[in-house]
Amino acid sequence: MDNVIKQFVLEGEPVSCEPYGCGHINRTYLLRTDTDRRYILQMLNGAVFPDPEGLMENVIAVTAFIARQAEDPREALRLNPTHDGALYAKDGEGNVWRLYDYVENSICLQAPEQPGDFYQSAVAFGTFQNRLASFPAGTLHETIPNFHNTPDRYRKFRAALEADVCGRAGQVQPEIRFVLNREEQAGALQQMRQSGQLPTRVTHNDTKLNNVMLDAVTRKALCVIDLDTVMPGLAAYDFGDSIRFGAATAAEDEKDLSKMQMSLDAYETFTRGFLTACTGLTELERQTLPLGAKLMTLECGVRFLTDYLEGDVYFSIHRPEHNLDRARTQFKLVEDMERKWDEMTAIVARLSEQR
């Protein structure tokens, strides 16, 4: 890592570099220097992102675009250059590394702690989409093709099931049935995207609460981070993935499923913040927001279960059945959303009218 750090222009001499955060994909480190400067050093996961250079082009363009609209410099992530003037470095194995300014005086939450936190995350993601409304979406690289193409996720699930390389399918029959029973409805958003009924937007596509920074004092939205999956997408993806994670009453890997529900209060709070910040959605886009919540949750569960069947090759795990536990919480949430469906659609309709 020393060889990587040396490539970047730093303020001061490095004094420590420790693993940081709870991401499932990249390797993230907090780098400190003797002048008390803090940086976030990240190595991109090359297995997940086949075109890291294209990905960095996206991140460079999007952060510059947002920086031009920012009132506080912390509203846009800032990449630090190498001595050669590039905005990323490579190590001896060809891995791509980047160095962000640490967003100072900020907090990043794994779950909402105060009533306004989830609202502020909705403002952050809604503002992000709004600020990028005039960004030329066609110039972005598709960093993970078919990322939120749910039918494609089903195809990969079926392939993993067929191969069953770890011999795990036998023990997860109820989960497999849960997934297959919902296959018919899983393509609804994809169909509306392909037919052009829903407009393509620049979306973040990984709108977990822990991809938002809030100001540590005011707890107001500062910026969204983890821009690796910024690609053309649907508004319902960003709304839906936020609900999946932040309106859940338990952690994504909770083992006690009785704790896991989708909070209608949190759902309503997020919807209010998102519709306030993300103006200009079409009527059909607003109507499909609840569907986004359900399908992003189902899709994420399918991805966790697929990874479990494939031997935990994609998401970082910290215990043997971690991906299975994660899949189960997602399916519990989907069931709860199915029960609360009428309320979910009514909330979006009511808040849309009030705007």
| Nearest-angstrom CA–CA distance, 90 and 46 | 12
| Nearest-angstrom CA–CA distance, 147 and 153 | 8
Determine if 292 is a binding residue for ligand GN1 (CB under 6 A). no
Nearest-approach distance from CB 253 to Mg ion, in angstroms: 15
Select from 23, 112, 290, 301 the one that contacts ligand GN1 (CB under 6 A): 23
Residue nearest to ligand ADP (CB): 23
Q: Is 169 left (phi over 0), alpha (psi -120 to 50) or beta?
A: alpha
Taking the least distance from each CB to ligand ADP, the nearer of 44 and 305 is 44
Determine if 102 is a binding residue for ligand ADP (CB under 6 A). yes
Determine if 252 is a binding residue for ligand GN1 (CB under 6 A). yes
- Rule CB under 6 A: which of 213-272 touch ligand ADP? 225-226
Query: Number of residues in contact with Mg ion, rule: CB under 5 A?
Result: 3
Q: Of ligand ADP, Mg ion, ligand GN1, none, which one sits near residue 89, judging by CB under 5 to 8 A according to partner kind?
A: none
| Nearest-angstrom CA–CA distance, 250 and 13 | 41
The interface region with ligand ADP, picked from 20-28, 64-72, 133-141, 345-353 by CB under 6 A, is 20-28
Select from 48, 60, 111, 250 the one that contacts ligand GN1 (CB under 6 A): 48
Residue nearest to Mg ion (CB): 226
**Interacting residue ranges for Mg ion, rule: CB under 5 A:** 23, 211, 226
User: Which positions touch ligand GN1 (CB under 6 A)?
Assistant: 23-25, 48, 206, 208, 211, 226, 228-229, 252, 300
